[in-house]
Amino acid sequence: MVAKSAPKSAIVIGASGGIGAALAEALRDEGDYAVTALSRSATGDEQIDIADEGSIARAAERCADLQPDLILLATGLLHDGDLGPEKAMRDLDADWLARQYLVNAIGPALVAKHFLPIMKTGGITRFAALSARVGSISDNRLGGWYGYRASKAALNQLIRSLAIEWRRKNERSIVVGLYPGTVDTGLSKPFQGNVPEGKLFTADRAAVQLLDVLDDLKPGDSGKIFAWDGEEIAP
Ligand SMILES: NC(=O)c1ccc[n+]([C@@H]2O[C@H](COP(=O)([O-])OP(=O)(O)OC[C@H]3O[C@@H](n4cnc5c(N)ncnc54)[C@H](OP(=O)(O)O)[C@@H]3O)[C@@H](O)[C@H]2O)c1
């Protein structure tokens, strides 16, 4: 049993990434949570590969006693070596599309499958996966970025179904997607050229903004996608 004075428990998955590392640090600075940081590049008990369900299941088992109040999933894939967002349909490649789907949509859904059941029962719990505005179908005016857009749209749809199912287990659960804005990390590095002045956030600033948004959410917000300024993003 968790002692009353014990801090709440948070797990950050993808804590080796630009935003994930900043989220873990911001939570530690706030002091309200005991923070467990998991990542693919970690070794031992902190290791998780979200492209491998066995690895996800083992990580969830190791974390089960933590009964987390908060889980932040900050993993994601936009480019890797020569592979990046598709400019046109001639660039579509089945293997690259499948990998983007695996990391951006399937992996997060399997993380939810194994980690939602270990969250604290009763009371408000928050599970948030980082998504992207380009995952909004109604907001797609420019086209391109086929795999990233579609895998984030799939993530958003998965989040909605997960939220509906999980509400029946815990009516005070919050399961959402969060868009961090354009953030100065390795993921956005090659695409920062057109970012308007003042709109490229440091990872530290993005982390604080996302935690503020998450703090204000209510169970009625579960299943939705929110931007860094608290605005809901249309599907
Ligand atoms: N930066 C932006 O401007 C921006 C904008 C919109 C949305 N987002 C979203 O925000 C999230 C975080 O992005 P970021 O900017 O922080 O990117 P990042 O610095 O590239 O971090 C990506 C993270 O994902 C992890 N990852 C990738 N594949 C994995 C796997 N199979 N198993 C476990 N972890 C895996 C990486 O782990 P390794 O260290 O092991 O590679 C890394 O920790 C992503 O979902 C991204 O789509 C970012």
pLDDT in tens, 90-112: 999 999 999 999 999 999 999 99
- Read off the tokens for 223: 């299943």
Instruction: Using DSSP, state whether 27 is helix, strand or coil.
Output: helix
- Read off the tokens for 27: 């939570």
Instruction: Using DSSP, state whether 127 is helix, strand or coil.
Output: strand
Q: Mind listing the pLDDT tens digit for each residue in 173-208? A: 999 999 999 999 999 999 999 899 899 999 999 999
Question: Which residue, 9, 69, 30, 10, is CA-closest to 204?
Answer: 30
d(CA 117, CA 134): 30
The whole-number average pLDDT for the span 126-153 is: 98
Tell me how far the alpha carbon of residue 84 lies from the centroid of ligand 1, in angstroms: 14
Question: Which residue, 155, 207, 205, 206, is CA-closest to 177?
Answer: 155
- Helix (H) / strand (E) element for 214: namely helix 203-216
- Read off the tokens for 17: 């990434």
Query: How far does CA 138 lie from the centroid of its chain?
Result: 21
d(CA 186, CA 183): 9
Q: Mind listing the pLDDT tens digit for each residue in 15-28? A: 999 999 999 999 99
Instruction: Using DSSP, state whether 87 is helix, strand or coil.
Output: coil
Alpha helices by DSSP H, 64-145: 94-101, 107-115
Tell me how far the alpha carbon of residue 118 lies from the centroid of ligand 1, in angstroms: 23
Model pLDDT, residue 6: 54
The residues lining ligand 1, judged by C-beta closer than 6 Å to any ligand atom, are 14, 16-20, 39-41, 48-51, 74-77, 103, 107, 130, 132, 179-180, 182-183, 185-188
Tell me how far the alpha carbon of residue 104 lies from the centroid of ligand 1, in angstroms: 9
The whole-number average pLDDT for the span 3-12 is: 76
Decide if domain 8-227 falls under CATH 3.40.50.300: no
Scan for tokens 């990998």, then name that residue.
Answer: 99
